[in-house]
Structure 1
Amino acid sequence: MQRYIFNPFSILMVLILIVAAIILIPFLFLGIIGGALTNLGFSWLQAIGLILLILIGSLVNIPVTTIREAKTPHTPPRGQFAPSLYEGMYREQPPARMTQVAVNLGGAVIPVLISAYLLFHTFVVMGDQALFILAGVGVLVVTIVTHHFARPVSGVGIATPFFIPPLAALICGILLGGGGMGSVVIAYVSGTLGTLIGADLLNFRKFGDLGAPVVSIGGAGTFDGIFLSGIIAAFLA
């Protein structure tokens, strides 16, 4: 059980996420974000609950499969956004020959469910097919950008500079959404799904090269980008 419930972040990263949450919650109380989420079916209380649930859920990893250590370990390339960028951000796990692949509750399961709800509300309830397609375009763009910058970090997972996915999602939301709730939906969905696909799923074959006992989809290395993408989307409201 201890392998699947743990804090993957260093004190520095925990402080960054806490500060981001503290900045966001007052806006929820003031109704700037809560009003927008209410239009999508959430109350301001539910919005705060979701944020807290995501933060707590980041400690929980749900095991899905096990892979063996690769015979030829992968060596991350030097240069742009090398692993040194992530030093001090995440806790390095002890080496292991067998890697348990898990799905992070707060960084994958809950954000994907929220994205699915937003897409359902957009396509079925609102009947906005154009926005649904634009959200798909946003996911594709963020996936490509995130995958370009994602790097395997031994003992951690697939890491991406935390500001890349939110920035890409913000640009997609503004350019494709044209403002209002369209921008919110596109920014959140593209930031969440694009990060998970571009960083973790497209690098799934490299999980066995990392030598970590647990590699979590949506966990260390990508959770921060997904969480901040949600904040960016909320501010667009």
Structure 2
Amino acid sequence: MLFLPLSILLFLLFILLLPLLFFLLQMKLVGHALVKMGISPAVATLIFFLSIIGSLINIPLLSGNQNIAINVGGAIIPLLLCIYLFPKVPILKTIIAVMISALIMNKMAQPIPMVGVTIPMFIPPLVAVLLGFIFSPRNPTPVAYIAGVLGVLIGADLMNLSQVTGAGMMS
């Protein structure tokens, strides 16, 4: 079977543009979720890009044998969004969802020397979505977001802080 050179060029173009497609799809999904939480599309796009850029920035909190830092895109921006969303959710149910999420994340998290705390990638979003639907079936998105963010930060990171040694940097 013969392939035209144009077909090969189109295939190479597709392969080169595939990361852009995944990026745009991710941006659309994140933007849609943020809009469902009452955030305008322009602000949702800004939050998305600030999170990506902020993921490159670690703010040192403690230094010594082990440096402890907080990541702008992975912790500060999500925490600010949680603060924004908190008045819009059923508070007691959300606190319970966060506590359950934190306990699950703590049990699933594994402190690994020279790496830090790891957790299977699909566990936090699955737990967050489930808790969102359980505790706020009419509007699960903000509860799921808060439970997911705070559950990971509290359960995986803070509760395992003393167990991570030799990582050089914990963020």
Aligned to 2:170: 215
TM-score, normalised via structure 1 length? 0.59
1:193 aligns with 2:150: yes
What's the RMSD between the two structures over aligned residues?
2.2
Q: Which SS does the other structure have where 1:51 is aligned?
A: helix
1:204 to 143, 147, 161: 161
CA distance in 2, matches of 1:33, 1:152: 30
Unpaired segments ≥5 residues, structure 1: 1-14, 68-97, 123-127, 217-237
Contact 1:28/1:44 (8 A) holds in 2:
no
Q: 1:44 to 1:157 in 2, by over 3 A?
A: same
Q: Which runs of 4+ in 1 moved over 6 A?
A: none
Counterpart of 1:184 in structure 2 is 141
Partner of 1:43: 40
Give 1:203 deviation, angstroms.
0.7
The alpha-carbon deviation at position 28 of structure 1 amounts to: 6.7
Q: Distance in 1 between matches of 2:152 and 2:128?
A: 9
Name the residue aligned to 1:172: 131
TM-score w.r.t. the length of structure 2 is 0.81
Greater relative contact order: 1 or 2 (C-alpha under 8 angstroms, separation 6 or more)? Answer: 1
Match of 2:67 among 92, 97, 100: 100
Closer/same/farther in 2, CA of residues 143 and 206 from structure 1, 3 Å limit: same
Provide, for residues 15-49 of structure 1, a one-character-per-residue CA deviation record: whole Å limited to 9, x for no partner.
99x93x532333577xx546424xx3x21011011
Task: Give the superposition deviation at 1:150.
Answer: 0.3
How high is the sequence identity, in percent, across the aligned residues?
32
Deviations 1:179-223 (A, max 9, x none): 3xx31111000000011000010011113x2x122111xxxxxxx
Distance 2:168 2:26 in 1: 34
Give 3-state SS (helix, strand or coil) of 2:56's partner. coil
Flag the structure with higher helix content: 2
Which blocks of at least 5 consecutive residues in structure 2 are unaligned?
1-17
SS state at 2:63 partner:
strand
8 A contact 2:33–2:141 mirrored in 1: no
Whether the 8 Å contact between 1:61 and 1:105 is mirrored in structure 2 is: yes
The alpha-carbon distance between structure 1 residues 113 and 35, as it changes in their structure 2 partners (threshold 3 A), is: closer
Match of 2:13? Answer: none
| SS of equivalent residue, structure 1 residue 103 | strand
Residue identity matched to 1:205: S
Within the candidate set 98, 102, 112, 2:79 is matched to 112
Distance 1:34 1:186 in 2: 12
**1:106–1:27 CA distance, 2 compared to 1 (3 A):** closer
